Amino acid sequence: VSRFEQVTMAPADPILGVSEAFKRDESEKKLNLGVGAYRTEDLQPMVLEVVKKAERKMLESGENKEYLPIEGLAAFNKATAELLLGADNAAIKENRVATIQGLSGTGSLRLGAAFIQRYFPGTTVYISNPTWGNHMNIFNDAGVPWKHYRYFDPKTVGLDFEGMMADIENAPDGSIMLLHGCAHNPTGVDPTPEQWEKIADLIEKKNHMAFFDVAYQGFASGSLDQDASSVRRFVERGMEVLVAQSYSKNLGLYAERIGAINAVVSSADAAARVRSQLKRIARPMYSNPPCHGARIVANVVGDAKMFDEWRAEMQEMAGRIKTVRQRLFDELSSKDKSGKDWSFVLKQIGMFSFTGLNKAQSDNMTNKWHIYMTKDGRISLAGLNLAKCEYLADAIIDSYY
């Protein structure tokens, strides 16, 4: 008998488990709209041309495989903070930004969570309801207490702004608010610029701190600057923030695990101390981060021509998603005779559509139609093409009614 007898079976991951089930399905009709990973119009994974170019350059220059420093590649850390805040941002010029390379968005959030656990013990992190499923796991595993704030109103299929503001107001002073920088996952519903201003006002008044999760910069609107405007608004007001970044989506570097945690603080001195402590958290967890993705980002951002090529490819990806979003809306509107308003599909931002399908309806999508999606009703439009929009609309309408 094994000494591991008491180890019970863990449940499948609600997102990555969907891909595992998809692989097992032998139907020709099958469609994977679970994981948020970009596919071409032929539904194939894609490596950006600019990434291949950077990799060729890296191979030719014959860089070695020595360890990076604990905080990661210096050229990457500089580039990533500048992409986030803008190169001429005062906080960067005043050395008030502590940036540590992390293991993509997830690993960077995890570093931030560990930092909160250590330096703000007992402070509750408020997370939108709903949110990306892994947020809860990350704070749970870091031993950080968390609660939900209201975010989504199923009736309007839009932002529950009043509920959100009330929950921020009623949280104890000095709480931490986890905010999606853009393209909220899973709802695709973002606050307007005016609403962001009010959120910032209230967070400042309550002496809360914002922790931004920026997983889709450039991917939501096609513009890196526009998608970072929420974060920049807080920083320009002189508010201290934590920001996790990911290059999984916008550079398609999913498997390279490249991202960063940034602490924008009020003095250079505080930034140096925070950086030193973030390094201290990283060292016993994984020692130092991988170099390949960091070099790709540093190369692309550091070369004006490649940077422009990246922006063009990003716009192309964002554009393809908008095209299938429109087609899906057209199909739903013309096929559904009930008079239901499907315009929320068009209003949602980013990679996903939050369909409003409940768990049983989502199960029908999978069991009857071989369409794989998360059970919260989210579908990844990045895994859809024009040819499959009609089939998807039939499946959604069948599952709804």
Residues that bind ligand PMP (CB under 6 A): 36, 104-106, 132, 180, 185, 213, 215, 246, 248, 254, 259
Is 310 assigned a catalytic role? Answer: no
- Examine the residue annotation and report whether 340 is marked as an active-site residue of this protein: no
DSSP 343: T
Shorter beta-carbon distance to ligand PMP: residue 76 or 342: 76
Among 160, 167, 190, 213, the one annotated catalytic: 213
Closest CB to ligand PMP among residues 106, 399? 106
In angstroms, give the least distance from the CB of 382 to ligand PMP.
11
| End-to-end alpha carbon distance in the chain | 51
Chain centre to alpha carbon of residue 43:
21
CB 214 within 8 A of CB 181: yes
The reply to whether omega before 69 is within 30° of 0 (cis) is no
Nearest to 298 by CA among 351, 256, 240: 256
CB closer to ligand PMP out of 249 and 275 = 249
Q: Please report how close the Cβ of residue 81 comes to ligand PMP at its closest, in angstroms.
A: 17
What is the nearest approach in angstroms of ligand PMP to the Cβ of residue 3?
Answer: 33
CB of 185 to ligand PMP, least distance (A): 4
Alpha helix stretches (DSSP H) within 348-388: 359-369
Smaller CB separation from ligand PMP, 215 or 242: 215
Judged by beta carbon, residue 216 or residue 310, the one nearer ligand PMP is: 216
Phi, psi for residue 108 in degrees, rounded to 5 = -70, -40
What's the helix, strand, coil split of the chain in %, to 5?
A: 50, 15, 35
Token readout for 272 is 């140096």
Catalytic, out of 249, 310, 369, 376: 249
CA angle 358, 360, 361 (to 5 degrees): 65
Known catalytic membership, residue 146: no
Give me the phi and psi of 378, to 5 degrees please. Answer: -85, 135
CA 395/CA 41 separation, integer angstroms: 20
**Which whole-number Å values give the CA distances from 218 to 50, 179, 233, 314, 351, in the listed order?**
15, 17, 17, 7, 11
Q: How far is the CB of 87 from ligand PMP (least distance, A)?
A: 23
Q: How far is the CB of 352 from ligand PMP (least distance, A)?
A: 9
Per DSSP, the residues of 48-85 read -HHHHHHHHHHHHHT---PPPPTT--HHHHHHHHHHHH
Residue of 132, 146, 342, 369 marked catalytic: 132
Q: Which is nearer to ligand PMP, 255 or 387 (CB)?
A: 255
Positions marked catalytic: 132, 213, 249
